[in-house]
Amino acid sequence: AAIILSGQPAGAGVPRPLAVAPLTGPSGAAGSLTISGDSFEPGARVSLFGGGPWIAGSYPLSEGAHSVEVHGQHACVAYYNHGTKLGGIHLLDISDPENPVRVGLFETGDSGVGVQTVGSIAYVTFINPYTFLGGMHLLDLTDHAAIQRLGTFYVLQDPQAIMVEGVRAYIADQYEGLKIIDVSDPANPAQTGVYDTPG
Per DSSP, the residues of 110-162 read SEEEEEEEETTEEEEEEE-TTT--EEEEEEE-SSGGG-EEEEEEEEES---EE
How many other β-carbons are positioned within 10 Å of the β-carbon of residue 64? 13
Cα–Cα distance measured from residue 78 to residue 45, given in angstroms and rounded to the nearest whole number: 33
Q: Where residue 34 falls among pLDDT bands split at 50, 70, 90?
A: confident
Is the pLDDT higher at 97 or at 180? 180
- 6-10, 25-29, 83-87, 132-136: range with lowest mean pLDDT: 6-10
Q: Where residue 22 falls among pLDDT bands split at 50, 70, 90?
A: confident
Write out pLDDT tens, residues 62-105. Answer: 778 999 999 999 999 999 988 888 899 999 999 999 999 999 99
Distances (CA, A) of 146 to 14, 94, 140, 149, 186: 58, 19, 9, 10, 18
Paired sense of beta strands 161-165 and 101-108, if any:
unpaired
Q: Is the pLDDT of residue 10 over 50?
A: no
Mean pLDDT along residues 158-183 = 95
Is the pLDDT higher at 30 or at 105? 105
Whole-number mean pLDDT of the chain? 85
